[in-house]
Structure 1
Amino acid sequence: MGRQHNGSRALGLLTLLAASATATPLVKPAKVVQTVDNTLKGVTANVKNLFLSGTTPNNTSSRCKVYPGDRNWPSDAAWASLNKLVDNRLLNRPDPLAAVCYNGPLYNAEECVKVTAHWNESYSHFDNAVEMMSPVAQGMTCLPPNIFDSHNCTRGGFPMYVINATKPEHIQHGVNFARNTGVRLVVKNTGHDFLGKSGGKDALSVWTHYFKDIEYFENYEDKEGNYSGPAFKAGVGVQAFEIYKAAHEKGHSVVGGEGETVGIFGGYIQGGGHSPLTSLYGTGADQVLAFEVVTADGDYVIANSTSNTDLFWAMRGGGGSTFGVATSVTVKAHPDLPTTASRFSFTSEKMGNETFWAAIRDYVEYFVPNADAGTYAYWTLIPNVFTGIFSFGMSPFFAPNKTLEETKALLQPWLARLEELGVNVDPNITHFPSYYEAWQSSFPLEAVGKINATTGSRLFPRANFETKEKRDELFQNLRQSSENNRVQVHFNIKAVDPANSDNAVNSAWRENILFSQQAVRWNPNGTAAETLKARQDFQSGDMQRWRDISPGAGSYLAEADRLEPDFGQAFWGDKYPRLLELKAKLDPYDVFFAHTTVGSERWKVESVDGLPNENGKLCRVEN
């Protein structure tokens, strides 16, 4: 049985605008689409300067961003003016979900039971204005007590104000206000992020979740970018389950993540974005034909192959919350391919550990041919420290544009070897008439992040599989991580390099065969010092082993550890120097910041407990 698909919940927000068959949108220069009216009607003279576009802030030398209690914190009148300019869509101290579980005006025992029961489901979080699906990065200050008792509900890494934006002008006013006042600005879409980039203590947040329109073009022509064909233009709030359904109804698919509630046109696509279709078409960023973007100056521009080309290059893989706030993305559409998928699992409980690991070692032999065949394998290794049992899960082996027979032929060599070893599996190989139906049935619903774990990742290149010795070395390192009690998630995938894909995507993706993640866990009730030591030891130990056997490779910026050393090289490789130059050009005052983004090494969140989270002031790193 596949999962129960929950896509109907938000489809009422989606507007699908079908362009006529003769419509041919042309890429043409257009620097500024729309700029807010700098007359700022209705705003009093004493605060009008806080909302002007293109200004130079007067607090560029301040050590920290501006916070409540600071002399320069905006007045109530200034916040009221911002609220008026954004059509009364400024939320003041929005409440996190678990506030109903703690003493105070919101306490509600019945609601707390409901919140707790659904806490780990992403569907319960993405339509909340402040929720981050990474409680560790938030600061662990307001979770249901049955999950983690923080004893009270403080704001921690949550923002102070949120603009529930539905128009580009709302974002422009927020960006101008943040730049001119020095208040920290954060950008949130759905809140999916391993590193907590959508949060920030007492910040002003721009929430883009309700940019939901989808427009379809049968023939989108980008001569400079060498593309002519179908395309979708989607608001950045459109989530995977929404765009996949819309594309399917037009006989197409788009490159997006496997997680159904991820807002794939926001941080996902700007960070690169791997997909079940990446072995066929490349990363999500490779599909982008145009952005509509609010810049750090407060302008609203088109970025494409002929307009604002530096911004266009940087936003395709250079990371979200860095160069601008996108409101829409236009992407290539691909055929809705027939797809075959397989799910199975086995454990070491009856066969013994050595037979289990022999089965995993044999699987390593097929990573290169399977990736080269255009497949996407999502598999896990789960250790049980109490029983000593190891578990393998294939969920799924995903083969777009492959028949049942072709998929069986790809899996058969390893399945035959499993049978020889006495490993009994039911591969449940199923053919679907479309990519959409296969995706609906095959992937697990993504869960909210754990309260006592963080994940590091590595992109293992083809070089790690060229010889038997290299494959043995990789296998031994994976086994060592399991024996060290590291939960592992792997994606056997390559990222093809489509034509004219010059963009900021990490070059390490082009050589990737195995994208691997491992997690460190700690005692959630331990001290901050104990937690930090566990995280540092993980980086210097298990993660360093993985780096040592893949010199020059990298990591994936959206699924990584905030403590990743030399993150610029790890996340962007040889693209990082140019990205730093563009950051200085496009956002010279660091209006946009998120941890481990381009240029973020100039700043540090001074968290209240010394842990890598958003519960603290954002201040400059002193030389």
Structure 2
Amino acid sequence: MQDLLRLFFLLTASSALALNESAPRCRCLYGDACWPTTSDFSSLQSQISQPLIYPIPTASGCYPLSSPSGNCTDIQANSYNGTWRADRPGSMDIYNYESFIFRNGSISACYLNTTLGVPCEQGNVPVIGVDARSVSDVQVAVKFAASHNLRIAIKNTGHDYAGRSAARNSFMLWTHHLNNITLNSTFVPEGAPSTEIYNAITVGSGVLWNDAYNAVAAQGRMLIGGLSAGGSVGAAGGWLQGGGHSAFAPLHGLGVDNVIEIKLVTAAGEYLTANTHQHSDLFWALRGGGGGTWGVLTSVTYQTHPTFPITTVFFNATATNTAVMKKLFTEFVRIHPALSAASFGGYATPANTSLNLFYNLPNGTDSRANASFESFFGLANNLTAEGLEIAAQETGTYDSFDQWYQSIFANTTGDAGIVELASRLLPTALFAEDEYEAFADKLFTIAGDGIVWNFVSGGAVSKVDPESTGLNPAWRESLVEAVWGAEWDEGATYSEIERSRAELAATMAQVSAIMPGAGSYFNEGSLFEPTPKQTYFGSHYDRLKEIKDEYDPNGLFIVGAGVGSDEWVDDLNCRRSD
């Protein structure tokens, strides 16, 4: 049947092209004459289960200054709390994306810092939307957006490092309250033989990882998911569609390697089940083709795994002498292939004057962990004579994933802020015995104040067939995801923001010179990548674009640097004329 459908789409491609050519070249935005009328929105309201929402920027309750409309004390106290922000449709975890920069450099924003004396404006926050509580709500909202040619923004938690879940003067589809969780130890995917059985969890697209972990922990299980302060990342949205990394991916693979089935609403308003047996082409694209591109996910089913004890290695050292730190960094790079072979994974922040890490060994012991780090610890202790100061060098043992997670992530909240990222997937080949010293030397020269060093690939990630999912094949050839960031103060001018962006771009140009053609993580990359097709999708882009054109021929779902976005001008509101 799928082959017949593909043939149908091929035969009707010319008709679809004609439709695209006759369709409006620009989206209808709030303030345009084409914007839906009050009557239109009343009709929409009559078809959905909840009142229409009118998202506002996070700090709106602090304005007007003479008589604030909300509890400003509460807003400012919770401004760095990602879970608190997730409950508010207009809030972004990375809150620079609540602001909008015009072509002339002026900025529309609503700042938490009320002393700046800037009036509160809507910025980049959508103006109206649907609080979806059912598949029907999603279908109605999608059809409404399509029929009125609206710019649509799909948002769950707002934990989004590229701001893809917000858009100025747009229509929001808020999935945060699609939060059902179902555990099934004998799950069989739709269309699969009865012998294909998984111990699984199905999560609605509004479920946070914190809640998903708690659900499986009660059964002595764990699953591969996002790890962030307070667990505020959504379990069934952009994290998965971008690839989905984890400190335990080297043991069990990435998120895209653990998903069994996805249910979604397409641009045509159809409710589909995608797995390896039904709509397998779409299932392939959803696993790595980028969030906000293929449809609105309503639920995702993941396989779960038996829990296991974890031994975590903690290390923290500083040195004012960069030559000393460079020696330690070189050894740090050298040991990674062996750590990967042992299924270690985790996070580090190497810099010119410091190195912090916490790496995790599943099913490990203190003695095994210490043996894996023996040469590194030995060098570190020897370097104390040259000025290295070791603040922490220890291991901690946890009985289960849940105990580890509760100890390190569950009760923390401070993950919101202002930042733009760029990243590279560091190829495993550069860690080889005859390459690592030169590689470490070059990388250290541009480490500066620090690299976010996510040791989340290699191991099981590298053993998956690169063609089995739509994920950039560069993931299968990498050992580490390295991330750099640009930051600025709230209220910064356009020129100050551009200066920070230029510094980030210069750093990434240096990184690219070390590893030409290296890939990047779609969820933690830059919107200003010079070659986003190659960097984010690699050799899979052309196939992804074919699938995109099949399921979304009119480009209803378009996001920054996503599949098909090159056909739109920079603000993604109008198609290119060429």
What TM-score does the superposition give when structure 2 sets the normalisation length? 0.88
Give the partner amino acid of 1:103. Answer: P
Asked if 2 retains the 8 angstrom alpha-carbon contact of 1:194 and 1:449, the reply is no
Residues 514 and 135 of structure 1: CA distance in aligned 2, closer, same or farther (over 3 Å): same
Equivalence for 1:72: 34
Tell me how far apart the structure 1 counterparts of residues 300 and 175 of structure 2 sit (CA, whole Å). 13
Asked if 2 retains the 8 angstrom alpha-carbon contact of 1:178 and 1:185, the reply is yes
Equivalence for 1:120: 80
> Which residues of 2 match residues 417-432 of structure 1 at below 5 A?
417-422=379-384, 423=388, 424-432=390-398
State the SS of the aligned residue for 2:573: strand
Asked if 2 retains the 8 angstrom alpha-carbon contact of 1:166 and 1:210, the reply is yes
Check if 1:367 corresponds to 2:336.
Answer: yes
Q: Deviations over 1:138-164 (max 9, x none)?
A: 326444443883711111110111211
Give the partner amino acid of 2:45. Answer: N
Equivalence for 1:386: none
Equivalence for 1:595: 560
Residues 585 and 381 of structure 1: CA distance in aligned 2, closer, same or farther (over 3 Å): same
Equivalence for 1:49: none
Tell me how far apart the structure 1 counterparts of residues 488 and 89 of structure 2 sit (CA, whole Å). 29
Equivalence for 1:353: 322
Asked if 1 retains the 8 angstrom alpha-carbon contact of 2:423 and 2:520, the reply is yes
Q: Deviations over 1:222-254 (max 9, x none)?
A: 557995331111111111111111111111111
State the SS of the aligned residue for 1:289: strand
Equivalence for 2:121: 154
Deviation at 1:598? 0.7
Asked if 1 retains the 8 angstrom alpha-carbon contact of 2:139 and 2:265, the reply is yes
Deviation at 1:526? 5.2
Check if 1:393 corresponds to 2:356.
Answer: yes
Q: Deviations over 1:161-181 (max 9, x none)?
A: 121111000010111011111
Tell me how far apart the structure 1 counterparts of residues 466 and 196 of structure 2 sit (CA, whole Å). 9
Deviation at 1:392? 2.1
Q: Deviations over 1:25-74 (max 9, x none)?
A: xxx99x9xxxxxxxxxxxxxxxxxxxxxx9x9899532321023322211
Check if 1:433 corresponds to 2:399.
Answer: yes
Deviation at 1:84? 1.3
Residues 106 and 254 of structure 1: CA distance in aligned 2, closer, same or farther (over 3 Å): farther
Q: 1:328 aligns with which of 299, 322, 339?
A: 299
Equivalence for 1:134: 94
Asked if 1 retains the 8 angstrom alpha-carbon contact of 2:263 and 2:271, the reply is yes
Tell me how far apart the structure 2 counterparts of residues 478 and 147 of structure 1 sit (CA, whole Å). 40
Deviation at 1:605? 4.5
Equivalence for 2:541: 576
Q: 1:101 aligns with which of 16, 37, 62?
A: 62
> Which residues of 2 match residues 258-277 of structure 1 at below 5 A?
258-259=227-228, 260-277=231-248
Q: 2:254 aligns with which of 283, 287, 292?
A: 283
Cα RMSD over matched residues? 2.8
Asked if 2 retains the 8 angstrom alpha-carbon contact of 1:374 and 1:399, the reply is yes
Check if 1:238 corresponds to 2:238.
Answer: no
Q: Deviations over 1:313-339 (max 9, x none)?
A: 111111111111111111111111111
Equivalence for 2:103: none
State the SS of the aligned residue for 1:234: strand
Deviation at 1:537? 4.8
Tell me how far apart the structure 1 counterparts of residues 194 and 163 of structure 2 sit (CA, whole Å). 34
Tell me how far apart the structure 1 counterparts of residues 34 and 144 of structure 2 sit (CA, whole Å). 13
Asked if 1 retains the 8 angstrom alpha-carbon contact of 2:266 and 2:295, the reply is yes
Q: 1:216 aligns with which of 150, 172, 183?
A: 183
Equivalence for 1:14: none
State the SS of the aligned residue for 2:523: coil
Residues 150 and 572 of structure 1: CA distance in aligned 2, closer, same or farther (over 3 Å): farther
Residues 522 and 148 of structure 1: CA distance in aligned 2, closer, same or farther (over 3 Å): farther
Tell me how far apart the structure 1 counterparts of residues 65 and 565 of structure 2 sit (CA, whole Å). 37
Tell me how far apart the structure 1 counterparts of residues 98 and 19 of structure 2 sit (CA, whole Å). 28
Name whichever of 487-496 and 581-590 sits farther off: 487-496
Tell me how far apart the structure 1 counterparts of residues 195 and 528 of structure 2 sit (CA, whole Å). 39
Give the partner amino acid of 1:573. Answer: G
State the SS of the aligned residue for 2:453: strand
Unaligned regions of 5+ residues in structure 2, if any? Answer: 5-15, 101-107
Check if 1:84 corresponds to 2:46.
Answer: yes
Asked if 2 retains the 8 angstrom alpha-carbon contact of 1:341 and 1:399, the reply is yes
Equivalence for 1:474: 439
Deviation at 1:499? 6.9
Residues 105 and 178 of structure 1: CA distance in aligned 2, closer, same or farther (over 3 Å): farther
Give aligned pairs, total. 547
State the SS of the aligned residue for 1:429: strand
Unaligned regions of 5+ residues in structure 1, if any? Answer: 1-27, 32-53, 384-389, 607-616
Give the partner amino acid of 1:243. Answer: A
State the SS of the aligned residue for 2:197: strand
State the SS of the aligned residue for 1:197: coil
Tell me how far apart the structure 1 counterparts of residues 226 and 133 of structure 2 sit (CA, whole Å). 24
Deviation at 1:202? 1.6
Name whichever of 420-429 and 565-574 sits farther off: 420-429
Check if 1:377 corresponds to 2:343.
Answer: no
Tell me how far apart the structure 1 counterparts of residues 311 and 462 of structure 2 sit (CA, whole Å). 20
Equivalence for 1:542: 507
Tell me how far apart the structure 1 counterparts of residues 522 and 35 of structure 2 sit (CA, whole Å). 33
State the SS of the aligned residue for 1:125: helix
Deviation at 1:525? 5.4
> Which residues of 2 match residues 18-37 of structure 1 at below 5 A?
none
Equivalence for 1:614: none
Give the partner amino acid of 2:151. Answer: R
Asked if 2 retains the 8 angstrom alpha-carbon contact of 1:59 and 1:182, the reply is no
> Which residues of 2 match residues 298-317 of structure 1 at below 5 A?
298-317=269-288
Q: 1:458 aligns with which of 405, 414, 424?
A: 424
Give the partner amino acid of 2:135. Answer: P
Tell me how far apart the structure 2 counterparts of residues 124 and 148 of structure 1 sit (CA, whole Å). 23
Residues 620 and 533 of structure 1: CA distance in aligned 2, closer, same or farther (over 3 Å): farther
Asked if 2 retains the 8 angstrom alpha-carbon contact of 1:225 and 1:500, the reply is no
Deviation at 1:256? 0.4
Deviation at 1:509? 0.8
Tell me how far apart the structure 2 counterparts of residues 279 and 262 of structure 1 sit (CA, whole Å). 20
Equivalence for 1:620: 575
Give the partner amino acid of 1:282. Answer: G
Asked if 2 retains the 8 angstrom alpha-carbon contact of 1:339 and 1:400, the reply is yes
Q: Deviations over 1:570-616 (max 9, x none)?
A: 1111111100111111100111111111111112344xxxxxxxxxx
Residues 101 and 525 of structure 1: CA distance in aligned 2, closer, same or farther (over 3 Å): closer
Give the partner amino acid of 1:491. Answer: N
Equivalence for 2:455: 492
State the SS of the aligned residue for 1:459: strand
Identity %: 28
Tell me how far apart the structure 1 counterparts of residues 21 and 218 of structure 2 sit (CA, whole Å). 51
Give the partner amino acid of 1:459. Answer: L
What TM-score does the superposition give when structure 1 sets the normalisation length? 0.82
Residues 212 and 301 of structure 1: CA distance in aligned 2, closer, same or farther (over 3 Å): same
Residues 522 and 238 of structure 1: CA distance in aligned 2, closer, same or farther (over 3 Å): closer
Check if 1:251 corresponds to 2:214.
Answer: no
